[in-house]
Amino acid sequence: MKFNYKHIIWDWNGTLLNDAGLCCDIINNVLANRNLNKLTLNKYREIFTFPVKNYYIKAGFDFTQYNFEEVGLEWMNEYERRKNECRLHNGAKDILQLLKEKNIEQSLLSAYPHETLIEIISHFNLEFYFRFIMGHHNIYAGSKVEQGKNLIKMIGNGNGNILLIGDTVHDYEVASEIGADCFLIADGHQCKEKLLQCNVPVFDSLVDLLTYFKKSVN
pLDDT digits (tens, 9 = 90+) for 75-133: 999 999 999 999 999 999 999 999 999 999 999 999 888 889 999 999 999 999 999 99
Rounded CA-CA distance 48/190 in Å is 6
67 lies in the same domain as 93: no
CA atoms within 13 A on the CB side of 148: 27
41 lies in the same domain as 142: no
Which among 80, 26, 36 is positioned nearest to 58, based on CA atoms? 36
Is the separation of the CB atoms in 125 and 155 below 8 Å? no
Is 63 a residue whose pLDDT tops 80? yes
Residue 139 has a pLDDT of 45
pLDDT digits (tens, 9 = 90+) for 158-186: 556 899 999 999 999 999 999 999 999 99
Question: Which range among 12-21, 119-128, 130-139, 148-157 shows the weakest confidence by mean pLDDT?
Answer: 130-139
- The length of the chain in residues reads 218
The neighbour count for residue 124, using CB atoms within 10 Å, is: 16
Output the pTM of the full model. 0.93
Rounded CA-CA distance 82/158 in Å is 39
Residue 72 inside a domain? The answer is yes
102 lies in the same domain as 44: no
Rounded CA-CA distance 149/156 in Å is 11
94 lies in the same domain as 67: no
113 lies in the same domain as 15: yes
146 lies in the same domain as 38: no
Count of domains in the chain? Answer: 2
Output DSSP code: residue 112.
Answer: E
Q: Which domain holds residue 71?
A: 20-85
Residue 2 inside a domain? The answer is no
74 lies in the same domain as 136: no
Under the banding of pLDDT at 50, 70 and 90, the label for residue 8 is very high
Residue 9 has a pLDDT of 97
Is 1 a residue whose pLDDT tops 60? no
Residue 141 has a pLDDT of 47
The neighbour count for residue 159, using CB atoms within 10 Å, is: 10
Q: Give the CA dihedral 72, 55, 42, 74, nearest 10 degrees.
A: 10
Q: What's the mean pLDDT when you consider all of the chain?
A: 92
